[in-house]
Structure 1
Amino acid sequence: MTGTADTSERIAKFLARAGVASRREVERMIEGGRVKVDGKTLDTPAFKVTGTEMIEVDGKRVEPPAATKLWRYHKPDGLVTTHADPEGRETVFDAIPKDIGRVISIGRLDLTSEGLLLLTNDGALARALELPSTGWTRRYRARAFGSISESALKILRAGVTVEGIKYGPMEVEVERETGSNIWLEIGIREGKNREVRKALDAVGLRVNRLIRIAYGPFQLGQLEKGEIKSVPSRVLHDQCGHLIEMGETPTGQAIAKPRAPSRPPRKPGQKPGQRPAGRAMGGPGQPGRPKREIDDSLLEPTQKGRPLDAKSTRARRDKDGKPTAKPAPRPSGPKGSAPKGSRNDGPRGGSGRPGGPRKPGGRS
């Protein structure tokens, strides 16, 4: 009897992939009675769906998850990173174009912060990229009132505790000082709430402008304020493919690099450890490095299709640079004698290079 593959998944994961919210937020929605499946209000996040059901959140039908997408957005200051602000302030999701569909942010930028904000339609990916175990560094440029000493820099680089909250080591570099302000470039890996502001405040600096310039491999670049640009699918797969395919929280383990191409099988008659003919012409034979092709015009008709090594190719040229069928025979003679035409008695082998007896004491 052949079994059928189970294509169902938990409702929280399904809604996260559909871009409704992160799994944790979906679980809270279910607890609040906001999620229905085929007209029945759910009371547990363990419920499984296949996507063929009619799934509703707050009375609105949720479409099946689309292909995972990622956007870079230059958030201006003055916008709140939330879907609904109780104070009625304008949000990031009010400002972005409606035609990109429902998206969620990867992390947040507070009201007065600006710069790079990543948006995605995949809640599971958003959750994975927010975790410190992903290992991505968030980079900022901070302008702060005051000056900073070397001892304060060491404190920030070692990690600081503020009001009982421990912030991890920061990468801090002084960019420049302008009057009573100082510009710093800062890198953090955790991204706790208002982390940069609180850490700098602990060493006597009051941040008055904060710009995020990078989130992992993704850069703010030349994006204008309020501009949004889709990340190409190839780049998304290269940088986040392992997280998209996992669909789960990353473990923090290193990502395995692709294996190098395996060595080609030995040709008939080739001994173990012996280099294949022509390898010297192709460079050191590093994996993935293309070999140089030998021009057939340099070979005799009887030799075409047979690879030659570099030494024999050089030997099969006469003094005018034309190929010869065989290399010129070496002069023979008794040991210790130097026949006429050797390197100690004039031009070397007819090549036109000047020669002569060596001077006593070695090379000239």
Structure 2
Amino acid sequence: MTEEPTEGVRLQKVLAAAGIASRRASEMLIDEGRVEVNGKVVTEQGRRVNPETDHIRVDGARIPPPRRHQYLVLNKPRGVVSTMDDPEGRPTLTDYLPRTKERLFHVGRLDTDTEGLIVLTNDGEFANRLSHPRYEVPKTYHVQAAGAMDNKTIRRLEKGVTLEDGKVQPDNVKLVSRAQDRTLLAVTLHEGRNRVVRRMFDAVGHPVDRLSRTMIGPIRLGNLPVGETRELTRDELGALLDLVGM
């Protein structure tokens, strides 16, 4: 018979502190078998856990550990350089961040002419994993391309486009709208080669007029105004930690 840990924090207290439910309601979740610790369902009350290292889930959703770092989403405007400072004096990400004593850095980049979702954090391990090709974190872009793109060209994009540095295979290409002078598509891919979306559309003869990143993994830009920031939600952070194996 395996002994339960005698140190740590009671599970219902951890759930309450994470904002899942009140302590009494958290006890009911445990009674109902809806809580897992390190892959095993917990139904007994009083189980003690280490919220920093144990993987806790409610209804399958990961509950992240108490935050020791900052995790922000910025809706980057067009014309802003994806750096924290710029010797040429151009607008940078720092100009749009809340004042903080913590030194934040961006995860990945967006072209100066590309707007949309970018993640900033002071958690180095999280940033390294989120940007590493090994974890293949999908990213979705809304692409406004020049001209009315026919279905044959859209299928060509779906099948993948060979560029000078190799083939690009999108995860998904979806037509949003089509007019005489422009086509709007949602494109999801999991790689981050330089200007890869723009080069894909150049290759099929429909240059990008406007490009916005709207999703990174489970993070959605939603209705966040251009130039504004917000913190990652508990569910977003938990899902990302799963995605990058933390």
* Cα distance in 1 for residues equivalent to 2:142 and 2:101: 29
Q: Which amino acid aligns with 2:201?
A: L
Q: After the TM superposition, which segments of 4 or more aligned residues of structure 1 sit over 3 Å from their partners?
A: 232-235, 241-245
* Cα distance in 2 for residues equivalent to 1:130 and 1:173: 24
Q: How far has the Cα of 1:128 moved from its partner?
A: 0.7
Q: 1:156 to 1:100 in 2, by over 3 A?
A: farther
Equivalent residue number for residue 148 of structure 1: 149
Aligned identity (percent) is 35
Q: Which amino acid aligns with 1:90?
A: P
| Matches for 1:11-160 after TM superposition, within 5 Å | 67-99=68-100, 101-160=102-161
Is 1:220 aligned to residue 224 of structure 2? no
Is contact 1:69-1:233 (8 Å) kept?
no
Q: How far has the Cα of 1:141 moved from its partner?
A: 0.8
**Looking at CA atoms only, which structure, 1 or 2, has the larger radius of gyration?**
1
Equivalent residue number for residue 175 of structure 1: 176
* Cα distance in 2 for residues equivalent to 1:121 and 1:242: 19
Q: Which runs of 5+ in 1 are unaligned?
A: 1-65, 246-364
Equivalent residue number for residue 191 of structure 2: 190
Q: Which amino acid aligns with 1:132?
A: P
Q: Which amino acid aligns with 1:143?
A: Q
* Cα distance in 2 for residues equivalent to 1:181 and 1:234: 36
| Matches for 1:254-265 after TM superposition, within 5 Å | none
Q: How far has the Cα of 1:234 moved from its partner?
A: 5.8
Is contact 1:131-1:190 (8 Å) kept?
no
Moved more, 79-88 or 215-224: 79-88
Q: 1:193 to 1:138 in 2, by over 3 A?
A: same
Is contact 2:117-2:221 (8 Å) kept?
yes
Task: Name the SS for the 2:140 alignment partner.
Answer: strand
TM-score (ref. length: structure 1): 0.46
* Cα distance in 2 for residues equivalent to 1:180 and 1:163: 28
Structure with the bigger RCO (C-alpha within 8 Å, sep 6+) is: 2
Is contact 2:137-2:216 (8 Å) kept?
yes
Task: Name the SS for the 2:100 alignment partner.
Answer: helix
* Cα distance in 2 for residues equivalent to 1:180 and 1:241: 42
Is contact 1:146-1:204 (8 Å) kept?
no
Q: Which amino acid aligns with 2:228?
A: E
* Bigger share in strand: 2
Q: How far has the Cα of 1:241 moved from its partner?
A: 5.3
- 1:96-118 CA distance string (max 9 Å, x none): 12226211111111111111111
Q: Which amino acid aligns with 1:94?
A: D
Q: 1:153 to 1:177 in 2, by over 3 A?
A: closer
